[in-house]
Amino acid sequence: MPAPATEARRAAVLGSPIAHSLSPVLHRAAYAELGLTGWSYDRFEVDEAALPEFMDKLGSEWAGLSLTMPLKRAVIPLLDEVSETAASVEAVNTVVFTEDGRRVGDNTDIPGIVAALRERGIEQVDSAAILGAGATASSALAALARVCTGEIVVHVRSAARAAEMRQWGERLGVDVRIADWSEAEQGLSAPLVIATTPAGATDALASAVPERPATLFDVLYDPWPTALAARWSAYGGAVVSGLDLLVHQAVLQVEQMTGVSPAPLTAMRTAGEHALAAR
């Protein structure tokens, strides 16, 4: 445990909408556990148009920012440096302000997915399925580039989304096959299924969960469990939740912003669980 840090430092999560964000709960729990008494973490409603002015007004007390939609791509032109991980999916969810005033962008969603899977003992799979092709799907694909040795089937609803996922596959160097959403039930038999869809989108698939499911990673956390995750668990399959992802990516953010490692994973997860239970 580091000595208490009384120096006033600030961090925050930005996005629109932002009221639902659990990031303040997670980061504040980390500061409390680490004895960082001078640190604060807030949330601000900021859209793409307001982002440049917001960032230009930040003083030297700022250590970092967490970014959610719709700012993950909009922030890139405002940065001095972008990590290879973030550049691979053109999405930054973490900005760290260095001592010399540089703005450095990173993506902790991708290693966060990998870490959440490893926590459940999943180091490698020979194939996988992704349900949906929205903003989270590209990060899921990038994570699978580190975990999956074979084919990744992406189930999509539109031709435009299909084209996007093919492009991401080529860019990330992974073997992607596009399948129509009508074939999503077949995807549930994969060794690893990552559901990246909005709330309710996979509810109709719950009745198609196989008798011996493998692993489901559902990126949602509120409401939880989803119908798909509940049926998956009932059949004895392993389930990784969106809270697992949120906590693991926040752990990496805390470490980057504070310079303290390791961040307190258990305390952060417990705080997140209590906050969700109170909603």
72 catalytic, yes or no? yes
Radius of gyration, alpha carbons of the chain: 19
| CA-based nearest residue to 170, from 156, 187, 194, 154 | 154
**Residue recorded with tokens 């991708």:** 110
Rounded to a whole number of angstroms, the distance between the first and last alpha carbons of the chain is 31
43, 72, 231, 269: which is the annotated catalytic residue?
72
Query: Do the beta carbons of residue 66 and residue 44 sit within 8 Å?
Result: no
Query: Do the beta carbons of residue 152 and residue 179 sit within 8 Å?
Result: no
- Pairwise CA distance, residues 6 & 188, whole Å: 50
| Enzyme catalytic residues | 72
